[in-house]
């Protein structure tokens, strides 16, 4: 929460995620990260999954921020993030 407003906005979350990724992140590592988010093993990351992971990390971004993250990554418009969509976002973030 760099602006100390009590919320983690998408750019702040993206910065955190980028700092956790390294150049050596392999497809296997990206899959492991996806599986951490896909807590209910449905093959997608839902708003509920993102909330749970944020809580585990001690963060409390609002639902609006989490929904914005899903919307930004959700290429097929189904309201959830597939592994393909997650991988695409992770590789984009790594490149920034």
Specify burial of residue 31 (Cβ count, 10 A radius: 0-12, 13-18, 19+).
middle
pLDDT tens digits in sequence order for the chain, 96 residues long: 566 777 777 777 767 666 555 555 678 888 988 999 999 999 999 999 999 998 888 888 889 999 999 999 999 999 999 999 999 988 887 665
Asked whether 38 and 49 are in contact (CB, 8 A), the reply is yes
Distance (Å, whole) CA 2 – CA 89: 22
pTM score: 0.72
* Tokens describing residue 81: 């993030």
Specify the residue for token string 């910065």: 15
- What is the four-CA torsion angle of 35, 40, 80, 83, rounded to 10 degrees? 20
């Amino acid at each position: 929460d760099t602006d100390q407003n009590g919320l983690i906005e998408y750019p702040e979350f993206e910065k955190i995620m980028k700092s956790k990724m390294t150049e050596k992140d392999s497809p296997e590592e990206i899959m492991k990260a996806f599986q951490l988010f896909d807590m209910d093993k449905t093959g997608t990351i839902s708003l509920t999954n993102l909330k749970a992971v944020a809580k585990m990390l001690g963060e409390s971004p609002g639902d609006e921020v989490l929904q914005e993250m899903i919307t930004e990554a959700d290429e097929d418009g189904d309201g959830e993030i597939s592994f393909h969509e997650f991988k695409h976002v992770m590789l984009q973030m790594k490149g920034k």
